[in-house]
Chains A and B, each alone.
Chain A
Amino acid sequence: MTPTREEFYNALIERHGADNQKKFDSATVAICGLGGLGSNIAICLARAGVGKLILIDFDKVDVSNLHRQQYKADQVGRPKPDALSDNLNEINPYITIETHNTKVTEENVIELTKEADIVCEAFDKAENKAMLVNAILENAPEKYLVSSSGMAGFGSANLIKTKKISKRFFLSGDSVSDVNDGIGLISSRVMVCAAHEAHMALRIIMGEATV
């Protein structure tokens, strides 16, 4: 049986503390890209009870995604924002989810993320990561930005770290493991990086914007 909203939040308060939970509940986080990073970030934040998630991706669930992304076999072919929204609602029915089935561009990124306190960059391609980071830092300097670079392959998970680049800009990953070097993306290592991004987002919401 699904717990009531009150039961759900009492359980979260027990684990996070009432002050933190209040902050999580009133926060809005935009997740740009809903692949191995974004789908895992979203699940962490939904479980923590972050009040509103803005999910953005143009892509559909593919069979090749299932080894590391938080989708199910029967969701192949569905738009990722819709499929992920369903999965998040099953985990936490009491958060607000806004979905955008669209490609993030320099032109629309500021409008898409305008309500977010924190933007999580969770793209696959290096050029798209750079585009988003430049766009947010240049045009929305009041927002916190959590980005990532380098999580491919079977290298040690301990090499993945979060660095504070500047006051509101954080970068998770090992900085070097490029999927284009033919080393593939492994669920566990991508999840470590996603968890770094999600954890940084929670710390920022708590008021602990340090690494």
Chain B
Amino acid sequence: MVKINGEEYQYENKQLTAVLEELNYDKTRIAVEINEEIVPKVCYDATILKDGDTVEVVSFVGGG
């Protein structure tokens, strides 16, 4: 089980990029932390989610 923004998903052993696409995130507007560590954008493809990971996807909208 992997927790993403507080919700549980069966995404263990899945590539981060594939998960972000499945959940319809725009990669140019997000920051991703796994277990409170930032995942550099260049590492999204190489990152495989593990059972027990806590993922926070901060998705930005416009305005300021």
Contacts and interface: CB of A to CB of B under 8 A. Distances in A.
Interface of A: 33, 35-38, 122-127, 129-130, 133-134, 137-138, 141, 147-152, 165-167, 169, 171, 175-180, 185, 190
B64 A124 contact: yes
Interface of B: 28-31, 33, 36-38, 40-41, 56, 58-64
The secondary-structure label for the interface of chain A is mixed
Contact of A190 (B31, B62, B63): B63
A125 B62 contact: yes
Given A149-B61, A178-B63, 7 more contacts: A35-B64, A141-B38, A150-B63, A151-B64, A152-B63, A179-B62, A179-B63
A165 B55 CA distance: 10
B60 A149 contact: yes
Nearest to B26: A126
A211 to B, nearest CB: 14
Contacts, number: 81
B62 A152 contact: yes
Contacts of B33: 137, 165-166, 169
Contacts of A190: 63-64
A168 B2 CA distance: 23
Nearest to B32: A134
Nearest to A194: B64
Contacts of A33: 64
A150 B56 CA distance: 17
A132 B35 CA distance: 20
16 contacts: A124-B64, A126-B61, A127-B29, A129-B60, A129-B64, A130-B28, A130-B31, A138-B38, A138-B40, A148-B64, A149-B59, A166-B33, A166-B56, A176-B61, A177-B63, A179-B63
